[in-house]
Structure formats: C-alpha cells, structure tokens
Amino acid sequence: MQLQDILYSQGFGTRRVCAGLVQQGLVQVYPSAQAPASVYTESNAEFVAEGLRFRVQGVDWPYQEKAYLMLNKPSATECSQKPSTYPSIYTLLPSPLRLRPQKGAVQGVQAVGRLDQDTTGLLLLTDDGKFIHRMSSPRHHVPKVYEVTVKHPISEAQVAKLLSGVVLDDDPKPVRAAACEAINEHHLRLTLTEGKYHQVKRMVAAVSNRVEALQRSQIGGLRLPDDLAPGQWRWLSHADLALIAA
C-alpha cells in the first residue's frame, strides 16, 4: 500500500491530509523491529501494511487492519457519540481511532455494548462490525463478571436467590446469575451471560438490596488489567481476542 493510503486507513484524515503529513516530514516508518524509524517524504512510497509500525507527529502507531481495543471506562461518562449529560467515552480516545474510515465513510471504533454512566470497568471497542454483532448476539453467551458494591450486607439467601433466578418486571422468565460469590459482606462478584437493561442493578434490587457501585472486571477470559487506569485504553492482542472467545 502507498504510505498515504496506510495513514488514511488508520484514521489520520483524508488522503490529501495524509499526503500532506508525509510531504511535511511528519511521518516516520520503522523498516523492522530493530531498525530506528526513518522519515519518508514521498506519499506514494509503498510498504507492506501488515505488521508495519510508524510514527506520526512523534506518536508511534501499529498498522491495524481492524482495530480492537479495551478501555477502562471511568464513572460519569456515557457510551454514546452524542451524550446527553456526561462526557462521551470517545473523547478519551485519540482522534485516529475516532476517524477510522469504514466503506468510504468516517465511522471510527464503536463500543461493543454499553455501560451505564455510573458503571466503570472493562469496555471493548472496535471497527469490526462482525465482531460487534457476534458479541452482541443473544446466542453468543459471553460471560461477563461484575464487581458489585451493595448497600446492605449480603446474605447467603440473597446469593442463593441470584443463582436460582429472580423475576424482573419486564419478563416473567427468571433471570439467573451464571456465578455469584460474596467476597465480603458488601462486595458481590456476579457473572452474567445475558445483557438486559440495567440487569445487575435490577437483579440486586429483586433480592432486596441496592447497588452502590458497579465495575465490569472481565469479559470471557479477558480480565481488566490492574495497570490500566480509569480513562486509559490499549490495543487488544491476538491472545486477548482468543480469551474473549474462550
């Protein structure tokens, strides 16, 4: 691929803008893992895109045919491009991730599902529509683990009821936790394989308790890294993606 087309595919602007970045000497390319980055000023210079690493205006980027990343969502943010009250999670991402083109239009990465504005933790984002569909499909029961802080001390009876099933007000069919463990009297670890609206809060309310704080800590076998601070993001590796599907 031509260098300007590589930059365009990664969300660095229109092809004209990308050509200008190259011609102004603002783009460096790493020819190999060991070699230092070199400045290229010919926008039509050709490279093998797969595995390419480059630097744009001093920031290193890996070529990604499709973008897959995780975000440690902070509280008081909305999983919406057009938030109503709180800042959008998308403002936490660098502009190339928000401007990656899809089928000729600017789409950027999208959240895989949503977390409420006051819910924190592991959130996946991608520009792979098939991945979003597969992860969102009711038939694809990916377990999600939540760390739940509750108002009242947790009883064994509440844990047992969450495991056996509670009835929510919009569905007569009981909803069950795939796993439920009281870590201490106010910390509940809950695993769900469904994705109903406000499900954790409503399930906890159904056993006469109340959620005070909620964090998603795991999706499939992928855990939220301890060193990923709220508001930070990182690329998902092939191993990470395998853990999600496991």
Q: List residues with catalytic annotation.
A: 116
| Residue 155 buriedness (CB in 10 A; 0-12 / 13-18 / 19+) | middle
Q: How many CA atoms lie within 13 A of 54 on its CB side?
A: 24
Backbone angles phi, psi at 56, to 5 degrees: -120, 120
3-state SS of the chain is: CEHHHHHHHCCCCCHHHHHHHHHCCCEEEECCCCCCCEECCCCCCECCCCCCEEEECCEEEECCCCCEEEEEECCCCECCCCCCCCCEHHHHCCHHHHHCEECCEECCCEECCCCCCCEEEEEEEECCHHHHHHHHCCCCCCCEEEEEEECCCCCHHHHHHHHHCEEECCEEEEECCCEEEEEECCEEEEEECCCCCCHHHHHHHHCCCCEEEEEEEEECCEECCCCCCCCCEEECCHHHHHHHHC
CA distance 209 to 211: 7
